[in-house]
């Protein structure tokens, strides 16, 4: 079964511990990859509903931390809303995708998956000041 190993990176190269996602098809779009990743993060959080959501994009009514987003109070997160935020962030260059060593340019671009395809979500950090 095709799978991807997902990591978050910063532009400076620091990388988070990765996690794996499996897919039924060996050809997916960037849109499907982003949606699946976010849905899995939300599913994982909603099972435990802790103080910190460690996901790709910030849910409403949270405070940004170094390693995630602090929830004002534990609650269920809406996966569809988070997916939409993530897709918009990609289109606004809030992060970019590297599949292997190739940058994915648009949401409808097809990605060929192998047994363990490496995917990096490179988050762009806004400049302070200026």
**Of 74, 8, 65, nearest to 46 (Cα)?**
74
Residue 75 located in a structural domain: yes
Residue 129 located in a structural domain: no
Residue 109 located in a structural domain: yes
State the DSSP code for 5.
Answer: E
CATH of the domain at 58: 2.170.130
Residue 70 located in a structural domain: yes
- Where in the sequence is the domain holding 118, given as residue range(s)? 3-123
Residue 128 located in a structural domain: no
Residue 54 located in a structural domain: yes
Residue 130 located in a structural domain: no
Residue 30 located in a structural domain: yes
Question: What pLDDT is stored for residue 126 in this prediction?
Answer: 58
Contact call for residues 30 and 104 (beta carbons, < 8 A): yes
Mean pLDDT by 10 residues, the chain (130 residues): 88 79 94 97 94 93 90 93 96 93 95 92 66
Contact call for residues 16 and 119 (beta carbons, < 8 A): no
> From CA 124, how far away is CA 8, in angstroms rounded?
11
Question: What pLDDT is stored for residue 109 in this prediction?
Answer: 97
Q: How far apart are the first and last CA of the chain?
A: 48
Q: How many CB atoms lie within 10 A of CB 78?
A: 14
> From CA 10, how far away is CA 80, in angstroms rounded?
25
Split into its structural domains, the chain has a count of 1
């Amino acid at each position: 079964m095709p799978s991807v190993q997902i990591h978050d990176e910063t532009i400076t190269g620091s990388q988070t511990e990765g996690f794996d996602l499996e897919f039924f098809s060996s050809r997916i779009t960037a849109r499907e990859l982003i949606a699946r990743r976010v849905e899995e993060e939300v599913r994982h959080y909603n099972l435990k509903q802790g103080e910190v959501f460690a996901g790709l994009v910030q849910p409403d009514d949270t405070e940004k931390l170094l390693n995630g987003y602090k929830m004002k109070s534990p609650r269920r997160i809406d996966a569809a809303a988070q997916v939409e935020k993530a897709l918009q962030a990609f289109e606004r260059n809030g992060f970019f995708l590297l599949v292997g060593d190739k940058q994915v340019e648009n949401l409808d671009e097809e990605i060929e998956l192998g047994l363990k395809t490496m995917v990096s979500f490179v988050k762009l950090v806004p400049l302070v000041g200026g």
